[in-house]
């Protein structure tokens, strides 16, 4: 029986699959890959141009390979037309004259994964932990003063993070108040699926019991720090759930933000006050010092991006708008040349503290060990399987999963 089944399966795989040729262009756009790039890396896709032109249909094996390379679920190709995948959360990635683009498959898969984690943890906290809702979630509105919101954020997050002002340390402090904080530059643990900073820098998923922040780890460390604070402001803001681009790395644009983007500007201002309190910067700002060097010095003191310092100085009247944008253009050009993705490399298990978070991972592992969650579901939620999850639990969480 096994031999016959194998023969039939092989025959089906060799037959041509008649699908709508629109799917090929749709899948390429969704994956942000070009046909030339795919063909160059995989000669098995050499007929791709003929598939796109409708001159030839692929075999099932070829279609499976194309779906894998573009990270598209195989079942999509058997629909009559490509699906119109909308952003599953509010989209704040717009400026005055620039509309947001269709989300990539990498971004969508990342959001869906984070939503699954949040849904599970929220139910776990409510039903098993019987914990109260977090009172700071959605506790402010656009009618509040964003600087006061920044101060409120500081009062909720332990000020001890200011001793180091490192993105990893701030992430840990945010998790200690009950907010999942994930930093990752790739989809899950797939280092060949890098997240694009040009598409998004972060997003916030609001929930009274399990709020979640995601920061694109492909960005510079200084920009990650600002994004963490910016997305935390989204958690505090009523109706603040959504995805951000933060143009220029720290929400900087020469144009005024559109009316629809008042939320982004509000969160920018709250984040700036959280990271660099206005009064503290004024007190430390000297006169008659070369501007570029001064901004860089202040950035090192506060351990944030020089762009954040420059923007704060402009908003506080310490420098002019023209001075700020002259510095902004020069600095961002240098940074673009120097910044390299931090999506891969380093210790795999330590990376999981950023990609999963100790808070969430500990909750999942305990639920699995206590029988409330199947181990297969634990693997799916964390993205770690079998011995890999066991090693992470022991090495990083000090949890021995083997009885």
Whole-number pLDDT of residue 335 = 66
Residue with tokens 């909308």: 86
Instruction: Give the mean pLDDT of the chain.
Output: 86
Nearest to 229 by CA among 244, 218, 239: 244
Residue with tokens 């990752």: 184
Residue 164 reports pLDDT greater than 80: no
Cα 48 from Cα 217, distance rounded (Å):
33
The mean per-residue pLDDT over the stretch 335-352 comes to 68
- Find the angle CA(35)-CA(187)-CA(194) to the nearest 5 degrees: 50
The mean per-residue pLDDT over the stretch 124-142 comes to 95
Q: Are strands 190-194 and 212-216 parallel, antiparallel or unpaired?
A: unpaired
- Output the CA torsion sign for 195, 201, 207, 210: positive
| 190 burial via Cβ count (<10 Å: 0-12, 13-18, 19+) | middle
**Tokens read off for 199:** 């598409």
Residue 322 reports pLDDT greater than 80: yes
Cα 139 from Cα 134, distance rounded (Å):
10
Cα 146 from Cα 139, distance rounded (Å):
12
Whole-number pLDDT of residue 396 = 95
The mean per-residue pLDDT over the stretch 10-34 comes to 85
Cα 122 from Cα 164, distance rounded (Å):
31
Residue 388 reports pLDDT greater than 50: yes
Strand partners, 212: 180, 205
> How many CA atoms, within 13 angstroms, populate the side-chain half-sphere of residue 241?
15
What digits encode the pLDDT tens for the residues 88-113? 888 887 544 455 578 999 999 999 99
Residue 249 reports pLDDT greater than 80: no
| Strand residue runs (E) in 102-219 | 180-184, 186-187, 190-194, 202-205, 212-216
Percent of the chain with pLDDT over 90: 62
Percent of the chain with pLDDT over 70: 88
More confident residue, 12 or 67: 67
Residue 341 reports pLDDT greater than 50: no
Q: Evaluate whether 166 touches 224 at the Cβ level (below 8 Å).
A: no
The mean per-residue pLDDT over the stretch 159-180 comes to 88
- Find the angle CA(196)-CA(262)-CA(145) to the nearest 5 degrees: 120
Nearest to 204 by CA among 247, 158, 167, 238: 238
Whole-number pLDDT of residue 7 = 34
- Find the angle CA(42)-CA(47)-CA(50) to the nearest 5 degrees: 145
């Amino acid at each position: 029986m096994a031999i016959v089944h194998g023969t039939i399966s092989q025959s089906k795989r060799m037959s041509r699959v008649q699908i709508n040729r629109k799917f090929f262009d749709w899948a390429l756009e969704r994956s942000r890959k070009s046909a030339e790039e795919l063909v160059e890396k995989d000669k098995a896709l050499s007929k791709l141009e003929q598939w796109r032109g409708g001159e030839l249909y692929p075999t099932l094996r070829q279609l499976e390979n194309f779906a894998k390379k573009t990270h598209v679920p195989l079942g999509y190709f058997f629909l009559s037309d490509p699906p119109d995948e909308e952003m599953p959360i509010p989209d704040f990635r717009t400026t005055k004259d620039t509309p947001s683009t269709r989300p990539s498959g990498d971004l969508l898969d990342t959001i869906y994964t984070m939503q699954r984690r949040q849904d599970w943890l929220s139910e776990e906290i409510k039903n098993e932990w019987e914990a109260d809702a977090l009172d700071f979630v959605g506790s402010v509105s656009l009618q509040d003063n964003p600087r006061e919101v920044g101060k409120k954020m500081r009062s909720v997050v332990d000020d001890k993070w200011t001793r180091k002002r490192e993105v990893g340390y701030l992430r840990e402090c945010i998790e200690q108040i009950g907010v999942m904080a994930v930093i990752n530059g790739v989809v899950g643990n797939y280092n060949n699926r890098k997240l694009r900073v040009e598409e998004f820098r972060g997003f916030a998923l609001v929930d009274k019991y399990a709020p979640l922040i995601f920061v694109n780890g492909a960005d510079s460390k200084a920009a990650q720090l600002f994004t963490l604070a910016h997305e935390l402001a989204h958690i505090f803001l009523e109706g603040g759930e959504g995805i951000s681009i933060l143009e220029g790395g720290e929400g900087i644009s020469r144009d005024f933000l559109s009316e629809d983007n008042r939320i982004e500007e509000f969160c920018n201002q709250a984040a700036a006050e959280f990271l660099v309190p206005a009064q503290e910067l004024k007190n430390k700002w000297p006169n008659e010092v070369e501007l570029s060097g001064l901004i860089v010095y202040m950035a090192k003191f506060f351990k944030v991006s020089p762009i954040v310092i420059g923007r704060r100085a402009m908003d506080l009247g310490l420098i002019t708008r023209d001075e700020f944008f002259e510095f902004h253009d020069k600095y961002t050009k240098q940074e673009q040349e120097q910044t390299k993705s931090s999506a891969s490399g380093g210790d795999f298990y330590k990376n999981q503290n950023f990609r999963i978070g100790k808070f969430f991972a500990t909750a999942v592992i305990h639920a699995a060990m206590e029988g409330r969650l199947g181990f297969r579901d634990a693997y799916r939620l964390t993205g770690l399987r079998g011995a890999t999850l066991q090693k992470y639990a022991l090495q990083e969480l000090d949890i021995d999963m083997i009885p």
